[in-house]
Amino acid sequence: MRSLFYVLSALAVMALAVWAYNENHKTQQAMAEAQDLRREIRALREALGVQRAEWAYLNRPDRLRELAEMNFLRLGLMPLTGAQFGRIDEIVYPMPEPASWLGNSVEVMGEVMAHVPGAIEHTRGEAP
Amino acid sequence: MIRIPLRPLARVLEARAEGRNPAHIERENLRLRHEQMRDRSRRRAEWRLLFLAASFFMGFALITARMGLLAASPPIEAAAFQGEDIAAYRAEIHDRNGRILATNLVTNSLYAEIRYMVDGARAARELARVFPELDETRLAARLTDPSRRFVWIRARLSPEQVQAVHDIGEPGLLFGPREMRLYPNGRLAAHVLGGASFGQQGVSAAEIIGTAGIEHRLDARLRDPALAETPLMLSLDLGVQAVTAEVLDGGLSLLGARAGSAIIMDAHTGEIVSMVSLPDFDPNQRPAPPTEGDPTDSPLFNHAVQGVYELGSVMKAFAVAQALEERLVTTETMVDTRGPLRVAGFSINDFRNYGPQLSVSDVFVRSSNIGTARLAQMIGPERQREFLERFGFLRAAPIELAETTRALPQFPERWRELSAMTISYGHGLSTSPVQLAAGYAALVNGGTRIEPTLLRRPAAVPGERLISEGTSAIMRRLMREVVTRGTASMAEVEGFAVGGKTGTADKPNPRGGYYRDRVIATFAGAFPMNDPRYVIVVTLDEPSESSSGEARRTAGWTVVPVAAEIVRRVAPLMGLRPQGPAEIEAALRLR
């Protein structure tokens, strides 16, 4: 009886030791993984900061203005002034030839202007 | 201890007499003695065992308790990875719409550790190839000097330069991570942001400290680790700032002005939406402060805050407002404008002769020095001083810039009647444009004081009442009249009712007196005048307009068209809808 007890105790100690070793190993693994993740988070944060800075740099007003000027023929963007606001009764309805909206925006603007009484005189003075 | 003798004589003699063997007595006694000794050592051994058992028990109990505590406590990660929190240890600066004005970028610094250095001379030669500005012979001397252990080579490297240094393949050249402050918008808002530089430097990090502007003034807030993740929100609007800078720059080059500034301020909250001072600089490479010459020539000089000038006729608004507020006059009261007006050996003249008398509104609209001086005479020096003090003209502007503490307004120590009269039309009291903007905001917003600020302040409680609602409404009408029929006729902007006042002040000559041909032209106003949302102050230093053949320097010809163009471009950006002339007329008449 007593020897059985000893054998069982020894087995239990061995089993516990294996279990403890495994737990320890898993903890170490988890910690190493956490550290890797932290390092990755830090690298990603740095990258994010760089991207945000670059986004802000690419979107700086000076550059956007230059780009708008360079692409004036394609985009027809002009500085926003009060003259570009319209009243609700100036809107032409029904819209003439909706397909032309996909074409050159300067042309489209011209067409719209032609339909708005007084609009041409309005903007002519403002054009650069 | 008393030892019992093994062979007591009495018993031995007794035994001999009885014929017994006396040796038995000795054995008997020996046995007893051994028994005693055995009992004693047994007791001692038992104590020892007990003590040992108790010690073991305590030890195990301690371990068990500790294990129990460990098992019961929530798991915590040991030793956080170093450097994670340092990634953003200076807060970003954003504009009012969350666009980045200042952020941090991780770069590398380059240093050398001599003990790892294989060939210092070659490293110096290669480094001089990568960085042409390095002095090869000096660097070689430092890199091969055995008494040195450590040499800083450069504070900031671009990624390409890091690769080039890697390619040298010298184990003694090492990189340390460096955060640097980046201003992605370059020159835009440079004077507001100021700049930053490295403070204490270590191998793995360097602290960034603000050197000027808001970076310096709010350095503690920006460095606060608890707030590092929360960007500092400024009241500036990047788009408005860009347009203002563009228009002002155009105006400066057209009019040949030395310098200029423009401020757009919310009339109710005091938030500064745009603050431009030209010439400007790139805060990413902040130039060194000038050591000689006129400091106002330096691009570092913020004309909007540090430019403390006598601003001329724009100050007339305060004299007129006070005279109206104290019910000394109404807008229709006639004021004597016969000139020259001689006071204490000094004569006050008008730009041209306005006849014998003008109404108060005409004194303001046509900008009569004599008429305004007469109003100041009625008000008196003490009350004028007290009035201007309440508007904040006698102290430094309470704005979040490091420069403001050194830009103190200048005014006469003894405020006599003559001072009062000259101050009423803007000579004798020097203020900065930002103070003027705050004063005009109070004049047009219904009469309450505002504190100018560069920080986002969505809801501001109205400050102390300076003038009544009624006086403020009259001032709005008068300022509108300056544009419709007075000196600022070029400020008319289609769709937005601009109102304001012009000022042309002769520049003081540092050798005494005033220059005859150098002026500071100012326009201070607000828009839309029927319900002022924004105050605008534009100044130009030494402008001159010569389209008609002769040089014209008055504000109406120089700064007013610039201000009008700013309003025309900026008002739609700030969400103001253009109004028809009839609509404006109706809104102005209602008040």
Question: Which residue intervals of B315-403 are DSSP H helices?
Answer: 316-325, 360-365, 369-379, 381-390
Mean predicted confidence (pLDDT) in B334-348: 81
B147: left (phi over 0), alpha (psi -120 to 50) or beta: alpha
Structure tokens at A87: 């009243």
Q: Tokens in use for B32? A: 């007893």
Q: Which amino acid is at A10?
A: A
pLDDT at B547: 76
The rounded distance, in Å, linking the Cα atoms of B159 and B178 is: 12
A5 touches chain B (CB under 8 A): no
Shortest CA distance to B164 belongs to which of B172, B173, B152, B155?
A: B173
Task: Tell whether B180 lies on the interface with A, counting CB pairs under 8 A.
Answer: no
**Distance (Å, rounded) from C-alpha A81 to C-alpha B568?**
6
Out of B100, B496, B573, closest to residue A56 by CB:
B100
**CB within 8 Å: B242 and A41:** no
Percent of chain B whose predicted confidence (pLDDT) is above 90: 24
Q: pLDDT of B348-358, one tens digit each?
A: 888 777 788 88
Q: What SS3 class is residue B173?
A: strand
> What does the pLDDT look like over B496-540, one tens digit per residue?
889 999 998 888 888 878 888 888 999 999 988 888 899 999 999
Q: How far apart are CA B534 and CA B441, in angstroms?
A: 8
Contact B213, B402 (CB under 8 A): yes
Which alpha helices (H) appear in B265-343, and where do they start and end? 316-325
B162 lies within 8 A of chain A by CB: no
Identify the H or E element spanning B108.
strand B100-113
Q: Residue B317 is encoded by which pair of tokens?
A: 């608004």
Of B534, B537, B468, which is closest to residue B270 (Cα–Cα)? Answer: B534
Q: Is-contact B439 B393, C-beta < 8 A?
A: yes
- Identify which of B105, B185, B243 has the shortest CB distance to residue A60: B185
**Rounded CA separation B355/B361 (Å):** 15
The whole-angstrom distance between B239's CA and the closest CA on chain A is: 7
Ranges in chain A, pLDDT < 70: 96-128
Contact between residue B501 and residue B313 where contact means Cβ atoms under 8 Å apart: yes
Q: What is the pLDDT at residue A124?
A: 44
d(CA B529, CA A99): 43
Tens digit of each residue's pLDDT (9 = 90 or more) over B125-172 = 888 888 888 888 888 888 888 888 888 888 788 778 888 888 888 888
Q: Residue-wise over B116-152: b if at least 16 C-beta within 10 A, else e?
A: ebeebeebbebbbebbeeeebeebbebbeeeeeeebe
pLDDT digits (tens, 9 = 90+) for B24-42: 888 988 999 999 999 999 9
Q: In sequence order, what are the beta bridge partners of B113?
A: B150
Contact B313, B425 (CB under 8 A): yes
Q: What are phi and psi of B205, to 5 degrees?
A: -160, 160
| pLDDT of amino acid B549 | 73
Q: How far is CA B305 from the centre of its chain?
A: 13
Residue type, B93: I
From the CA of B423, how many Å to the nearest CA of chain A? 38
pLDDT at position B554 over 60: yes
Q: Which of residues 49-88 of B touch A (CB under 8 A)?
A: 77-78, 80-81, 83-84, 87-88
